Amino acid sequence: MVAKANYVTLPKSERKMVSGARSVRPSHPDERLEISVHVRRTHGTHGATGLQPRNLTHKELEKNYGADSSDLAKVADFAHQHGLVVVESSAAKRLVRLSGTVKAFNEAFDVSLRHYEHANFTYRGRTGTISIPKELDGIITAVLGLDNRPFARPHFIRRKPHPTGKAHPAASAADFSGFSPVTVADLYSFPPGDGSGQTVGIIELGGGFRPGDLQTYFNGIGITTPPTVLAFSVDHANNKPGDSADGEVMLDIEVIGAIVPKATIVVYFAPNLTDADFSDAILAAVHDAVNKPSVISISWGGPEDEATGQFQEAMKTALEDAQSLNITVLVASGDNGAADMAPTDANNQAPWDGKAHVDFPASSPLVLACGATRIDLSGTKLAGEAAWNQGFADTDPDVNSFGSVGGGISHVFTPPPSWQASLTLPASANVGAPAGRGVPDVTGNGDPSSGYSVRVDGNTGVIGGTSAVAPLWAGLIARINQIIGKPVGFVNATLYANPGAFNDITIGNNRVSSPGGSENLGYDATPGWDACTGLGSPNGNAVLAALRTATV
């Protein structure tokens, strides 16, 4: 394609065809879609250190770090010139949502959208870069949504009954029915609290909840008045129970609601069609000036290598906003071990490429990345923990559930953030990859074989995965915010400075092997921080003491 006159390339916008896919035909010129155009901040970047201005109000954030009205007007004029409709224009979110046809978007951004087919999915996509008019160079920072290949996946796994009837050591019988989140919170010495006055946000890319199921679940664990659960629509998505993502939605709500039953839970529902949907959902939660969540739980993600640079930059600015507003963001680290990819064509993704990857946005230095363990009990006391691994390397044909805790070393977010600078980070499992941010930061019970009792679509079962740990930590932070009387915000530096607030885990690994057994990549649980259990699981009261001291 010959570049259009007076156009320049949008940095970090390059796309390649999915491995194993083939280009079938041009997308229909009359196909309609919506995309998200991100624009620069009023005063440039927040800063180079990653430690952003704190304690801002939503109005202060918009005034000092929102988009300039003249920039938004220029993008709107450009859109109108190409027959595109402005659906939304937000100075606070630095976002312009555009609607139009494939033909109009091809012309406006100098791309060629095509229909691609893979053995397991189809998608509308592009190759190469996006171009923008020279007069918008430096104003537009990202154009998301043109390509709708799958990226984000939920990180929950249902426990399957063991065919041999073996019981997990944490269970008293082979028909283990799952732990209550309250039981697990007590095992981890969470400080008392019910979440009164707190609002917790949850990002969901599909699925939904049924109020009747929530009533039944919470009544069953002794909570007669369930927490207030609100559905927030992003990019036309709604609470729509009835698909495979319901397990994720209900797990998140029930874990948080059990730990902080008097909190308000706001579920931000977005489609899972494009990278724009994911970033739009986070922007919606962060900039929700009505509900004002102080904690956001995210149990979705994908290999950071599959995320374009412009998508990562868009997420970065949204998470910087969260930091400025003192919002704590918890993210699940992934369920496919150090590979972060399934070994076969499944879950709408290509097979594992034999390399180590970390999950995004868990790999962002602006979030608290949450791994998963298996817990063992002695009576009603926590007797021990091990890194969760029922994954590639497990040769037992009767293994309960496939999966392993995600973790490793980022080669996108380099060098390591300041609060990991004193760690002895392991070499990346990818030869030649530079040392970067280590994942996860913390962990908690998430092995499906010691998982949680969850009610989904009228049925009760046991669910685990790192998806269970992000909401578990979200509940802990909400209790701490209630006790301290204000949000603790970005907690990573404080937690790394207080390793004594954790149960150190030195058993297990997240190593993975290819189906033929030719690979063995991954990391072992070791004393101190490691790339499968992070700092460890929480001693809730000690975490409270550390954060209270830092806040004061």
Q: What is the sign, positive or negative, of the torsion defined by CA atoms of 428, 430, 436, 438? A: negative
Out of 34, 147, 235, 248, the active site residue is: 248
Is there a catalytic annotation at residue 467?
Answer: yes
Is there a catalytic annotation at residue 70?
Answer: no
Cα distance between residue 249 and residue 414, in whole Å: 33
Token duo for residue 27: 């997308």
Out of 324, 467, 513, 537, the active site residue is: 467
Cα distance between residue 495 and residue 419, in whole Å: 9
Cα distance between residue 161 and residue 167, in whole Å: 9
Q: What's the per-residue H, E or C state across 147-213? A: CCCCCCEECCEECCCCCCCCCCCCCCCCCCCCECHHHHHHHCCCCCCCCCCCEEEEEECCCCCCHHH
List, in order, residues 6 or more apart from 360 with CB less than 8 Å away: 301, 302, 303, 304, 307, 312, 315, 412
The order of strands in the sheet holding 114-117 is: 22-26, 114-117, 122-125
Burial of 446 (0-12, 13-18, 19+ CB in 10 A): buried
Which residue in 194, 204, 214 sits closest to 297, CA to CA?
204
Q: Are 199 and 267 in contact (CB under 8 A)?
A: no
Cα–Cα distances in angstroms (integers) from residue 390 to residues 160, 222, 275, 447, in the given order: 12, 32, 29, 8
Cα distance between residue 285 and residue 451, in whole Å: 28
Is there a catalytic annotation at residue 537?
Answer: no
Out of 252, 288, 306, 441, the active site residue is: 252
Cα distance between residue 478 and residue 291, in whole Å: 14
Active site residues: 248, 252, 467
